Structure 1
Amino acid sequence: MVELTPKSVFDCFAQINQVPRPSKREEKITAFLRKFGEDLGLETIVDHAGNVLIKKPATPGYENRKTVILQSHQDMVCEKNKEVEFDFDNDAIQTYVDGEWLKAKGTTLGADDGIGIAMEMALLQATDIEHGPIECVFTRDEETGLTGSFEMKSDFMSGDILINLDSEDEGEIFVSCAGGVRTEAKYDLELEAIPAGYKAVEVTIKGLTGGHSGDDINKKRGNANKILVRFLLEQCAKTDLRLCDIQAGGLHNAIPREAHAIVVPPSERVTALIGDLCEFGTRIKEEFSSTEPDVMFLASETNLPSDSLTRTQTERILKSLSVVHNGIFAMSQDIDDLVETSSNLANIKREGNQIIVNTSQRSSVASNLTYMAEVVRAAFELGGAKCVTNEGYPGWKVNPKSEIVKVAVASYKRLFKKEPKVRAIHAGLECGLFSEKYPNLDMVSFGPTLRGVHSPDERLLIPTVQMVWDHLLDILKNVPNA
């Protein structure tokens, strides 16, 4: 079994995973971090938004160094496999080691960004690590709205340098990130009684890989929502199909892994529909032969619902959803292999007399972010939906004169005898908001290797935690003087 080192970091991570911390319900982790700082006798502040700041003075000989802010977010994405019984508001995350990976039993692991929190905690409680003045900051609700960063006052942090510990590829140092917005559509439903001679069929697509809607959008993975809509639209061309219910996808920042719908075809078409789904599944598995080996297609008769959409509206909404852009929209013209602009069709759900759809758009170019949202809204509006795009969050521009980037790169080369990759990331980071409120803040982002984030497949590559820890401590020893 791989040893969990550094022990202090993994011990802190184990403590964190005993504390529930769903996005927007971070009260328990906020209280835990407040007590942690106060028990160490360190100045601890909780602001009006629920952000936590713990200050640690410099060790002897390092008093004149620039103050470094170490920053992670308190919340985690709470996703589980459908068959798993788990209460994210009360239950502790159950972890296990699988080879070189740390995983959770049927749920998200919470290493995004719990491992960043754990590193900060380990540093705060250490008595044998050399560093200048430190401010450890733990922001609230990063995953579903960047609420803590949005609401943070411009005098909450006072450091000169910020190290964000929310990246997911060891050996990569991030110096820029995309901005993003969310677009919501609402279709008011035209409902009617189901005609005589119709039967209800539940169609399920599941077992897709999923992943992060920013960092994984270029990995050619299937979107369960788009695949389900595609099948249902094909059926509309063959028979008088009506949509009764749809519950597809999950969080706005996750590529959908599962999608479910209840439809009513004429009774004589039920067997053919189920057969068509089998044939459709074969086509999809061929199209996604490398990325979706475990996708499953299920159909079975179910109880007849009380109503359905009209035939006309069923087809109109399915056509609208089929042309809503999903995936890469544009690649960067400045950085090779970097996605510039994308959109994710995150979830589609009937709620009463409406179908509500959520999407997220990302771009490192502000004008293209606006255009991407306009394209998505156009597809919704042509199908009869009413749309709203939120204000979103800004991107983080490259600082070519960054001192901390130079220190981080030199440190990595010295420790590991190889060049790190200095990159921009298509996912959003809180650095974008910090750059607006603290325009002189010198920032960098890095972290250990994570895979399958925002899904129950989330896993942490154990050996990379020691590498990032060593890198972080070396950077802190080499921070320039104030």
Structure 2
Amino acid sequence: LADEELKHGRIQALFTVDEETGLTGAFGLESGMIDGKYLLNLDSEDEAEIFIGCAGGIDTTSTFTYKQEALPAGKFYLRVEVKNLLGGHSGGDIHLGRGNANKLLARFLWLCMQRHEVHLCAIDGGNLRNAIPREAMAVIAVNPEEKEAVRAELNHYAADVAAELSGVDPHVTVDMVTADTPEFMIEDKVARALISALYAAPHGVIAMSHDIEGLVETSTNLASVKMTEPGKIVVATSQRSSVESEKYDIAYQVECLFRLAGAEPSHGDGYPGWKPNMHSRIKDIAVEAYQELYQQTPAIKAIHAGLECGLFLTKYPQLDMISFGPTLRGVHSPDEMMHIPAVEKFWNHLVLILEKVALE
């Protein structure tokens, strides 16, 4: 039936590109490209769950400008690494309280800078704006007579971090090894401002929803720190909220923090959230179909992650939408995987929904 309906144009398939790098395809959708009153978004990560709302988001990028300075004579160089964190999706996993490699690295470097003469030569952490960073590293210069004290402090710090995160990130490691002599160091004033800002920057859940129990309402992710070109260090953060005004509020807080540290912040265009509609007809059809197939009522939820549905709704306000999909884990990480038995259940559910819609 689904094939026949597609042939006669009663069912349209919409494919979008670059969702994870900025929702480029969804932004390109224009009025008049599609018609219809129902939209099934095949982009959720737990079979037996139907989503009817999501958070909106906005990225904030802060750029530090620094001078490359000559290395002082007689220094000893160390590479500090935070690794083996679980990471995860900055929306769907932010409530789990997992470690953020950028935050953990900055915390140790800030402590060292209070007690020792430390020069920052290189720093790198995280990758994607929508992933909680799993790894981060820095190369520092210290006085030879202080290197053992710094190593001892790192050992104590690593033990503290392991204890703090034992319940959520049991494999976290903080290591230090001897590094080759770098080409330059970052001027101290900027280095200290950068590390202080990273240490102070908010990360994690900012507020919980007052309307839907257990739903994260607002969050921010300190996503990445990159030396993108000579003289530039770029810090990327990602803010989310199901309340549009709060989305901008946390983005502006992040902007103020990094501006006070001497960086130049800027915001992306962002994307809107999708307000839940508890009276959705397509939601009722999907629930009925799942009950018929599996004698079970699926969970009805909103998600803190961003979905393209918010943008679809902006262009097509008449659409009645749900989002669902097979079970996925480790999304946006090297551990990403799909639960194979869930695929058949999802497919059968999709086909029956289409059959019921066609018979309306």
TM-score calculated relative to the size of structure 2 = 0.95
Aligned match of 1:358? 236
Separation of aligned partners in 2, 1:334 and 1:420: 20
Aligned match of 2:94? 217
Instruction: Please give the secondary structure, in 2, of the residue aligned with 1:153.
Output: coil
Separation of aligned partners in 1, 2:264 and 2:131: 23
Superposed displacement of residue 481, structure 1: 5.0
Aligned match of 1:197? 74
Q: Does 1:436 align with 2:289?
A: no
Residues 194 and 307 of structure 1 are in contact (CA less than 8 Å); yes or no, is this contact kept in structure 2? yes
Aligned residue among 62, 75, 84 for 1:185: 62
Q: Does 1:263 align with 2:140?
A: yes
User: For this pair of structures, how many residues does the alignment match?
Assistant: 358
Matches for 1:291-302 after TM superposition, within 5 Å: 291-302=168-179
Residues 449 and 461 of structure 1 are in contact (CA less than 8 Å); yes or no, is this contact kept in structure 2? yes
Separation of aligned partners in 2, 1:454 and 1:359: 16
Could you give the per-residue CA deviations for residues 333-367 of structure 1, whole angstroms, max 9, x where no partner exists? 10000000000011001231011110100000011
Aligned match of 1:175? 52
Instruction: Please give the secondary structure, in 1, of the residue aligned with 2:33.
Output: coil
Could you give the per-residue CA deviations for residues 426-480 of structure 1, whole angstroms, max 9, x where no partner exists? 0000000000001111110001111110011112112211211121111111116
Q: Does 1:457 align with 2:315?
A: no
Separation of aligned partners in 2, 1:405 and 1:369: 27
Instruction: Please give the secondary structure, in 2, of the residue aligned with 1:478.
Output: helix
Aligned match of 1:427? 305
Separation of aligned partners in 2, 1:59 and 1:441: 19
AA partner of residue 364 (structure 1): S
Could you give the per-residue CA deviations for residues 203-257 of structure 1, whole angstroms, max 9, x where no partner exists? 1111100111100101111011100001111110110111111111111011101
Could you give the per-residue CA deviations for residues 37-83 of structure 1, whole angstroms, max 9, x where no partner exists? xxxxxxxxxxxxxxxxxx954289xx7xxx7xxxxxxxxxxxxxxxx
Separation of aligned partners in 1, 2:40 and 2:231: 47
Separation of aligned partners in 1, 2:38 and 2:223: 35
AA partner of residue 255 (structure 1): I
AA partner of residue 417 (structure 1): Q
Q: Does 1:319 align with 2:196?
A: yes
Separation of aligned partners in 1, 2:3 and 2:272: 30
Residues 202 and 260 of structure 1 are in contact (CA less than 8 Å); yes or no, is this contact kept in structure 2? yes
Aligned match of 1:145? 22
Separation of aligned partners in 2, 1:319 and 1:167: 37
Could you give the per-residue CA deviations for residues 9-34 of structure 1, whole angstroms, max 9, x where no partner exists? xxxxxxxxxxxxxxxxxxxxxxxxxx
Instruction: Please give the secondary structure, in 2, of the residue aligned with 1:325.
Output: coil
Q: Does 1:403 align with 2:281?
A: yes
Instruction: Please give the secondary structure, in 2, of the residue aligned with 1:286.
Output: helix
Aligned match of 1:278? 155
Could you give the per-residue CA deviations for residues 116-174 of structure 1, whole angstroms, max 9, x where no partner exists? xxxxxxxxxxxxxxxxx321221011111100110112122223211011100111100
> How many percent identity over aligned positions?
45
Could you give the per-residue CA deviations for residues 390-439 of structure 1, whole angstroms, max 9, x where no partner exists? 12000111223321101011111222222211111000000000000011
Separation of aligned partners in 2, 1:180 and 1:433: 11
RMSD: 1.7
Residues 240 and 311 of structure 1 are in contact (CA less than 8 Å); yes or no, is this contact kept in structure 2? no
Separation of aligned partners in 2, 1:369 and 1:260: 30
Superposed displacement of residue 311, structure 1: 3.0
Residues 54 and 242 of structure 2 are in contact (CA less than 8 Å); yes or no, is this contact kept in structure 1? yes
Instruction: Please give the secondary structure, in 1, of the residue aligned with 2:14.
Output: strand
User: Which blocks of at least 5 consecutive residues in structure 1 are unaligned?
Assistant: 1-54, 68-132
Aligned residue among 4, 9, 13 for 1:136: 13
Superposed displacement of residue 278, structure 1: 2.0
Aligned match of 1:80? none
Aligned match of 1:95? none
Aligned residue among 322, 325, 348 for 1:447: 325
Residues 186 and 356 of structure 1 are in contact (CA less than 8 Å); yes or no, is this contact kept in structure 2? yes
Q: Does 1:58 align with 2:5?
A: yes
Residues 78 and 139 of structure 2 are in contact (CA less than 8 Å); yes or no, is this contact kept in structure 1? yes
Q: Which runs of 4+ in 1 moved over 6 A?
A: none
Separation of aligned partners in 2, 1:246 and 1:369: 29
Superposed displacement of residue 271, structure 1: 2.3
Aligned match of 2:352? 474
Separation of aligned partners in 2, 1:421 and 1:59: 29
Could you give the per-residue CA deviations for residues 76-108 of structure 1, whole angstroms, max 9, x where no partner exists? xxxxxxxxxxxxxxxxxxxxxxxxxxxxxxxxx
Separation of aligned partners in 1, 2:30 and 2:40: 19
Separation of aligned partners in 2, 1:306 and 1:199: 13
AA partner of residue 345 (structure 2): M
Separation of aligned partners in 2, 1:59 and 1:256: 42
AA partner of residue 126 (structure 2): G
Instruction: Please give the secondary structure, in 2, of the residue aligned with 1:218.
Output: helix
Separation of aligned partners in 1, 2:102 and 2:343: 35
Separation of aligned partners in 2, 1:333 and 1:58: 41
Aligned residue among 254, 272, 280 for 1:376: 254
Residues 5 and 358 of structure 2 are in contact (CA less than 8 Å); yes or no, is this contact kept in structure 1? no
